[in-house]
């Protein structure tokens, strides 16, 4: 009953016409229990949000919950150094705020203020998910994607709530990294934007705002930087070791571009570059680099595979 008036309005005018919709986000559904999704669920639960953590199987959910439990325990140990009772209470309360589920549709239909999607970087898959959720979500529910490289606008096209759609791009590991990028598309309403920004602040992050441009702020600057470093080595301008040393000692970066490529994953960087090059064929900054593709083809993906530009197997 409460949303019937809002539902009768045209889509663009439907934004937050009830007192309930003007409240802060309290109930969050996180879809995808990988490193990013579990981290988002953890920081939301640790800041008194009620969280539904959704993944496709009980087995994956159990692994997700185990990961969250260990991570929360580390946070508690650091936060409450000399107070074991307070630490234990923090862990219990945080975990108590998370309800696992294998049914995304049921979790969202049950009532949620915000859906944060953190599944595989696959546009069609994300569109399919949001299209299904859009049919059952309450009128006030905001949709957000944690994508790092895909267009928020293209994902949102699968729904009828463009005014209640945006991006919330967190960084790995979410409990540690202080930043979240809030992305608004042209149709994102002011109230939606405010709710997303306030949620980012509520979970303890520094919020930066960006339009729906490829890679938003961080990856738009970082990916071309890493690709250009690879091009320098490919041309024979400098060695991998010297490029990394130069950027650490000369520019004050904590990691060189090749160390960063290995940390991020060469397959991930290659996937992002390929997608951007396809969408923006005239942009030279986005052109893929052969030496990265060669490493990916050899399954030398960086830290996660034991070898990339450096050897981590020793």
Positions annotated as catalytic residues are 148, 169, 181, 219
C-beta of residue 12 within 8 angstroms of C-beta of residue 98: no
- Per residue, the 3-state secondary structure of 18-72, as one string, reads CCHHHCCCCEEEEECCCHHHHHHHHHHHHCCCEEEEECCCHHHHHHHHHHHHHHH
Q: How far apart are CA 163 and CA 190, in angstroms?
A: 9
Q: How far apart are CA 208 and CA 156, in angstroms?
A: 21
C-beta of residue 140 within 8 angstroms of C-beta of residue 6: yes
C-beta of residue 132 within 8 angstroms of C-beta of residue 106: no
Find, among 96, 30, 83, the residue nearest to 61 by Cα: 30
Helix orientation angle between 218-235 and 257-264, rounded to the nearest 10 degrees = 120
Tokens found for residue 193: 């934007």
Tokens found for residue 91: 């862990």
């Amino acid at each position: 009953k409460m949303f019937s008036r809002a539902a009768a309005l045209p889509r663009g005018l439907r934004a937050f016409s009830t007192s309930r919709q003007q409240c802060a986000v309290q109930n969050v559904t996180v879809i995808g229990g990988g490193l990013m999704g579990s981290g988002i669920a953890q920081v939301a639960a640790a800041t008194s949000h009620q969280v539904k953590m959704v993944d496709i199987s009980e087995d994956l959910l159990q692994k997700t919950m185990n990961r969250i439990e260990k991570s929360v325990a580390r946070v508690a140990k650091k936060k409450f150094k000399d107070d074991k009772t307070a630490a234990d209470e923090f862990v219990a309360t945080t975990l108590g705020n998370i309800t696992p589920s294998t049914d995304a549709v049921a979790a969202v239909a049950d009532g949620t203020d915000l859906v944060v999607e953190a599944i595989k970087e696959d546009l069609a898959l994300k569109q399919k998910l949001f299209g299904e959720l859009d049919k059952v979500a309450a009128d006030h529910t905001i949709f957000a994607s944690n994508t790092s490289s895909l267009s928020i606008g293209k994902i949102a096209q699968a729904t009828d709530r463009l005014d209640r759609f945006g991006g919330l791009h967190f960084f790995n590991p979410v409990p540690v990294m202080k930043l979240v990028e809030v992305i608004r598309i042209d149709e994102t309403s002011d109230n939606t934007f405010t709710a997303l920004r306030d949620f980012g602040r509520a979970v303890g992050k520094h919020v930066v705002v960006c339009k729906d441009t490829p890679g938003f702020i961080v990856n738009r600057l970082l990916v071309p930087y890493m690709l250009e470093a690879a091009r320098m080595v490919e041309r024979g301008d400098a060695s991998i070791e010297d490029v990394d040393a130069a950027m650490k000692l000369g520019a004050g970066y904590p990691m060189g571009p090749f160390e960063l490529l290995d940390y991020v994953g060469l397959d991930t960087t290659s996937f992002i570059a390929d997608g951007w090059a396809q969408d923006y064929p005239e942009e030279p900054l986005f052109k893929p680099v052969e030496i990265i593709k060669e490493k990916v083809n050899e399954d030398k993906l960086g830290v996660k595979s034991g070898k990339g530009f450096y050897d981590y197997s020793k």
